[in-house]
Amino acid sequence: MTALSAFAVPLVLAIPAATAAVLALLPGYRLSARLNVLACLLTLLTALSLLFGRPQPDSYFLIDDLNIVFIVLNTFVGFTTSVFSASYIAHEIETGRLTPGHLRFYHAMYQAMMFGMNLALVANNIGLMWVAVELATLTTVLMVGIYRTPEAIEAAWKYFILGSVGIALALFGTILVYMAARPVVGEGIDGMLWTVLINRVAAFDPALLNLAFIFLLLGYGTKVGLAPLHAWLPDAHAEGPTPISAVLSGLLLNVALYAVLRFKMLMAANHAAIAPGPLMATMGLTSLIFAGFMLYRRRDIKRMFAYSSIEHMGIITFAFGMGGPLANFAGLLHMTMHSLTKSAIFFAVGHIAQVKGTQKIAEIRGLTESHPVLGWGLVTGVVAIAGMPPLGVFMSEFLVVSSTFAREPLLAVPLVLGLLIAFGALLLRVQGLAFGEPTGSTAPVQASYLPMFGHLGLVLVAGIYLPPPLAAWFQHVAGLLG
């Protein structure tokens, strides 16, 4: 273990927490934007050090093969989004949509959100993880309503109310897990530690575990955006700042999914409990098909890609619900590819909405002519998220379908049908957005293209060649998930 990795977990939490406090006091845009990017970069470098050495678990924190995947992905997309955010927010300041007061609030909440998500991922205590997920949710609720328009306030309240219902269900499920552990582990903090629970769960009361998992799946599933618990997500994407849309799709949904996977591992270790896989597969398949049809009815570009996020979180949840080495590997790969691709799409969409002055699909045409870099970036992102080869999403979706055909051939039919429905909707929409006679403003846009094309480049490389160490890492984690 390296000297840095010994302090990596405290630093992954301390850097965003301390930076949030500093940013709350800084009025200047340039300084605060640069500090936000720098803090995210330092957090990413600290997280990467965990690949070379891990601290021993204690009563509060745990680093293992599962959560390190999420931590590295979380800090990487958090960093690239902060780079995109710098140019995006600069435009919002220039146009007067945000004031210096809003600016201080925005950057402070961004770092507070990163702190909450990182804490949820490294927590060894199921109660601490619940608190961290709630903190991350509350910060994003506040950021969704930052424009203070009636629509933004409504979206924030909707997110808050539905998120509160979900987190309340998750809290009840967490309490039930503790109640199941108490007769075996005893009272106290040991009954809430992952490292203790996973070793003793075979002796827990299966009836309490069954009830707990249902509440946990519904509670955290609300945060994942699974249908029919998804109603907050499209509004939050449409009305909040676009960097927050990128973080919601690329990160926060993954954090909630991580919590579900942890409890799935507990259920699988108790052979008398119900199998969690069928419940997850059912909700995942429902989300995929529902979101696929809803893509055809969207009139707002950010809402459309919000439903695309629901679709892909459905695919990921379905893959983990199917279980087995291949399906779990496919779920991990698809989660990574979706985070990179969808955040890249929102990077493009954010600047497109700014330069065109609208999010209405009908009023955006001919982007490849009026703004070629943004237009072709959006086309590449949509082609990737639709599952076209040779990009990484195609590979992960191919593996999901292959594993389903091998284990449950009948389920492969609605799975492929849902993929085709969503595929048709996305290609139909992108034709009008990208090609034809340009409409609206043709003025140049001040944008940072590196995050968008950096993500898309990684997705392309992953579709062509997955490095053996990364493949072996994902295979190992897939085996742990059962």
| pLDDT, position 431 | 85
d(CA 28, CA 168): 38
The pLDDT of residue 6 is above 70: no
Domain-located, residue 466: yes
Domain-located, residue 391: yes
Domain with 440 in it: 275-482
Average pLDDT for residues 240-265, to the nearest whole number? 89
Q: Return the H-helix or E-strand segment holding 478.
A: helix 468-481
How many independent structural domains does the chain possess?
1
| pLDDT, position 3 | 55
Token pair listed for 368: 């490849």
Domain-located, residue 221: no
pLDDT tens per residue, range 198-232: 999 898 999 999 999 999 999 999 988 888 888 88
Domain-located, residue 113: no
Token pair listed for 165: 């219902």
Beta bridge partners, 193, equal: 125
Average pLDDT score, the chain: 88
pLDDT tens per residue, range 258-281: 999 999 999 988 888 888 989 999
> Residues near 423 by Cβ (< 8 Å), separated by ≥ 6?
386, 387
d(CA 100, CA 98): 7
pLDDT tens per residue, range 348-396: 988 888 888 888 888 888 888 888 888 899 999 999 999 898 889 999 9
Q: Is 125 helix (H, G, I), strand (E, B) or coil?
A: strand
d(CA 121, CA 117): 6
Domain-located, residue 192: no
Domain-located, residue 262: no
| pLDDT, position 5 | 59
The pLDDT of residue 80 is above 80: yes
Domain-located, residue 396: yes
d(CA 187, CA 348): 51
Domain-located, residue 327: yes
pTM of the entire predicted model = 0.94
| pLDDT, position 4 | 59
Task: Give the chain's count of helices (H) and strands (E).
Answer: 21, 0
User: Of 389, 399, 419, which is closest to residue 335 (Cα–Cα)?
Assistant: 399
Percent residues over pLDDT 70 in the chain: 97
Distances in Å between the Cα of 290 and the Cα atoms of 93, 228, 282, 308, 334 are: 38, 9, 12, 10, 19
Beta bridge partners, 249, equal: none
User: Of 403, 296, 291, which is closest to residue 338 (Cα–Cα)?
Assistant: 291
DSSP string, 210-277: HHHHHHHHHHHHHHHT-TTS-THHHHHHHHS-HHHHHHIIIIIHHHHHHHHHHHHHHHHT-TTSPPSH
338 neighbors 227 (Cβ within 8 angstroms):
no
Percent residues over pLDDT 90 in the chain: 46
